[in-house]
Amino acid sequence: MRRWNGWGDESNDFPLKPEGLAFVRARLGEARALPDASLPAVLAQVPPSRLPAHPLIDTGAETRVRHARGQSLPDWLAMRSGEFGIFPDGVACPRNTAEVRTLLDFCLAQDIEVLPWGGGTSVVGHVTPVASARPVLTLSLEKMDRLLALDRDSQIATFGAGTPGPALEEQLKAEGYTLGHFPQSFELSTVGGWVASRSSGQQSLRYGRIEQLFAGGIVETPRGTLEIPTFPASSAGPDLREMIMGSEGRMGVLTEVKVRVTPLPEVEKFYVGFLPDWASAVRCVRALAQGKVQLSMLRVSNAVETQTHLVLAGHPNLVGWLERYLRIRGVGDGKCMVTFGTTGTKAQCRAALAQANALIAAHGGVNAGTPLGRKWESTRFRSPYLRHGLWEHGYAVDTLETSADWKNVPALVDAIEQSLREAAGGFGEKIHVFTHLSHMYPQGSSIYTTYVFRCAASYAETRARWAAMKQAASETIVKFRSTISHQHGVGRDHAPYLAAEKGPLGIAAIRALADHFDPQGIMAPGVLLPQQEDNA
């Protein structure tokens, strides 16, 4: 069963190994775990629902608790402390487009706010209800989880918008296809959520971001039904898909999603190599991206992330052997790990591997082969469980991300990490911070920073530490004129920073679009556009 107060399935865990715990303690000091609230204690706080009765709406306390929060760090702190504050007034799980329409019409008639819910994996407060004079309905797409049609000639599959990653890939695999969209939240996130929040998967280098995969579909908006037809390409004015991608529930509810699928690859392998230092590592992956080498994934970790991964792997003897070998090859302290994949026909993979090996060698690096690559593959969707492993020992972990042109990447990585260190220093605390680049483009790259810090003596203080660090890093990103999100979206947490990126005219245009589709303003108020914008 899915956890009500954390990530994933209750039967799965990723405990911190002794070497990992010692490593974190050495960097941050001893920590004490904060007490967790129990489910019965939280259920007892759920207030009576303000919703009028409707056969499609469940107002039971447990359903409301289980749909009250996403996966941001503030969400996590709320779930662990039991201090939810606000719960949705009810949850509806429609089974088809017609039921979504019925629910939207009911909400319009009764002046009810609607929060669409895909897999609830948002890390930026998308699905978190806030205080409102109107009742709030969380509209979960979880029962719309099936492959509805497959056009083999055009390679377009139509899915219910609530289909989560594993179910989507299983149903496609049975037909000989893959979508190839693998965000780290794959286990729980859904195809509708990917579109609504402009998601990017680990193998975007081969398959593209969701922007390239989303072909069309059906959106039920408060104003009516928007059907987005599929074209291979079109020059007929602005693209309707662009109004829906990244709309974060503001324009309506995606009910059916058409995606571009690919026949299953003949072979797929993942490799791990090492470069002598960060500067050569960044130059190497930039050359791979700009040389359009046909890799399916590419990630480069800075030296601290590399060291952290090697320690957390928990195989000190094997890692010791690897490090001795690398040293002989001229790759020692300060080394940076590059993880990459080849996917396709045997000939395509051979060619890509040869080109990658040549570029790694030309930058002074070594390809250590598939053993660590297989390890990455086997744990690629398990690492979110590590938040539990750290939490049990009194440590909190969060991530943030952006993207930047290559000329700004190294300076921005340093500035983000430094802003986090300084903000933590303001509390007299250290943080363990590290970064990787995981989505490469000829123009630039995503930047993904992870930071681990000690919980304070109370939840409120821990939240304050997080807020200071998040604000400092977000302001740094804005100062560099980088995007406030490469893949997590805007939600509520990034909404205050969006205006810096879009400008007043851009924000007004997004606002006008939301008002057009939703004149009564019932769809996810405060998400994407800041609350004051909503009240303006």
Q: Name the one range near ligand FAD by CB under 6 A: 104-112, 113-121, 281-289, 504-512.
A: 113-121
Between CA 434 and CA 422 the distance in angstroms is 15
Tell me the C-alpha distance between 226 and 219, whole Å: 5
Which CB atom, from 193 or from 365, has the smaller least distance to ligand FAD?
A: 193
How far, in Å, CA of 447 to CA of 198, rounded? 16
Each residue 331-370 as x (binds ligand FAD by CB under 6 A) or -, in order, gives ----------------------------------------
Decide: is 282 part of the binding site for ligand FAD (CB under 6 A).
no
Q: How far is the CB of 529 from ligand FAD (least distance, A)?
A: 12
The correct pick among 299, 309, 454, 488 for binding ligand FAD (CB under 6 A) is: 488
Task: Based on the shown chain and the rule CB under 6 A, indicate whether residue 472 belongs to the binding site for ligand FAD.
Answer: no
* Minimum distance from residue 52 beta carbon to ligand FAD (Å): 22
Decide whether 71 or 308 has the Cβ nearer to ligand FAD: 71
Q: At closest approach, how far in Å is the CB of 497 from ligand FAD?
A: 16
CB of 256 to ligand FAD, least distance (A): 9
Which residue's Cβ lies closest to ligand FAD? Answer: 193
Which segment (53-61, 103-111, 197-205, 451-459) binds ligand FAD by CB under 6 A?
197-205
Q: What are phi and psi of 40, to 5 degrees?
A: -60, -35
CA distances from 429 to 473, 514, 531 (A): 16, 42, 32
Q: Which is nearer to ligand FAD, 400 or 433 (CB)?
A: 400
Mutual angle of helices 459-479 and 73-81, in 10-degree steps: 170
Residues 6+ positions from 2 with CB-CB distance below 8 Å: 8, 9, 10, 66, 188
**Shortest gap between Cβ of 161 and ligand FAD (angstroms)?**
4
Selection from 273, 439, 442 nearest residue 356 by Cα: 273
- Could you tell me the smallest distance in angstroms from the CB atom of residue 77 to ligand FAD? 14
By CB under 6 A, the residues from 47 to 76 that bind ligand FAD are 70-71
Q: How far is the CB of 517 from ligand FAD (least distance, A)?
A: 11
Stretch that binds ligand FAD, among 123-131, 277-285, 308-316, 420-428 (CB under 6 A): 123-131
The distance from CA 128 to its chain's CA centroid, rounded to whole angstroms, is 16
Q: Contact between 249 and ligand FAD (CB under 6 A)?
A: yes
- Is residue 178 a contact residue for ligand FAD (CB under 6 A)? no
* HSE, side-chain direction, 13 A CA sphere, residue 49: 21
Choose the binding region for ligand FAD from 77-85, 115-123, 230-238, 316-324 (rule: CB under 6 A).
Answer: 115-123
> Cα(142)–Cα(140) distance, rounded to whole angstroms?
5
The count of residues interacting with ligand FAD (CB under 6 A) is 37
- Determine, following the binding rule CB under 6 A, whether residue 507 of this chain makes contact with ligand FAD: no
Closest residue by Cα to residue 126 from 492, 496, 444, 508: 492
Rg (CA), the chain: 23
Which among 452, 424, 271 has a CA at the least distance from the CA of 355? 271
Question: Is 88 among the residues that bind ligand FAD (CB under 6 A)?
Answer: no
> Which CB atom, from 179 or from 366, has the smaller least distance to ligand FAD?
179
State in angstroms the smallest separation of the CB of 197 from ligand FAD: 4
* CB of 192 or CB of 444, closer to ligand FAD: 192
- Look at residue 519 and give its three-state secondary structure: coil
Any contact of residue 118 with ligand FAD (CB under 6 A)?
yes
CB of 268 closer than 8 Å to CB of 183: no
Is residue 405 helix, strand or coil? strand
Mark 373-402 with x for binding to ligand FAD (rule: CB under 6 A) and - for no binding: -----------x------------------
Which strands form 267-275's sheet, in the order they lie side by side?
A: 366-367, 267-275, 336-344, 297-301, 432-437, 444-454, 395-405
Does residue 437 interact with ligand FAD by CB under 6 A? no
String of b and e for 202-212 (b: at least 16 CB within 10 Å)? bbbbbbbbbbe
- Which residue among 24, 91, 93, 141 contacts ligand FAD (CB under 6 A)? 141
Q: Strands 432-437 and 444-454, how do they pair?
A: antiparallel
473 binding ligand FAD? (CB under 6 A):
no
**Least distance (Å) between residue 345 CB and ligand FAD:** 26
Binding part of the chain for ligand FAD, among 245-253, 294-302, 406-414, 499-507 by CB under 6 A, reads 245-253
Amino acid code (one letter) for 33: A
Q: Please identify, among the stretches 51-59, 114-122, 280-288, 420-428, the one whose residues bind ligand FAD according to the rule CB under 6 A.
A: 114-122
Indicate the residue among 194 and 278 with the shorter CB distance to ligand FAD: 194
Q: Is 120 left (phi over 0), alpha (psi -120 to 50) or beta?
A: left
- The reply to whether 487 sits near ligand FAD by the rule CB under 6 A is yes
Q: Is 101 exposed, middle or buried (0-12, 13-18, 19+ CB in 10 A)?
A: middle
CA dihedral (280, 286, 290, 295) positive or negative: positive
Least Cβ distance, residue 202 to ligand FAD (angstroms): 6
Q: Which of 25, 51, 119, 41 is nearest to 80 (CA)?
A: 41
Using CB under 6 A as the binding rule, whether residue 199 contacts ligand FAD is answered as yes
Positions in the binding site for ligand FAD (CB under 6 A): 70-71, 115-123, 126-127, 141, 161, 183-185, 189-190, 192-194, 196-197, 199-200, 248-249, 253-254, 384, 487-489, 524, 527
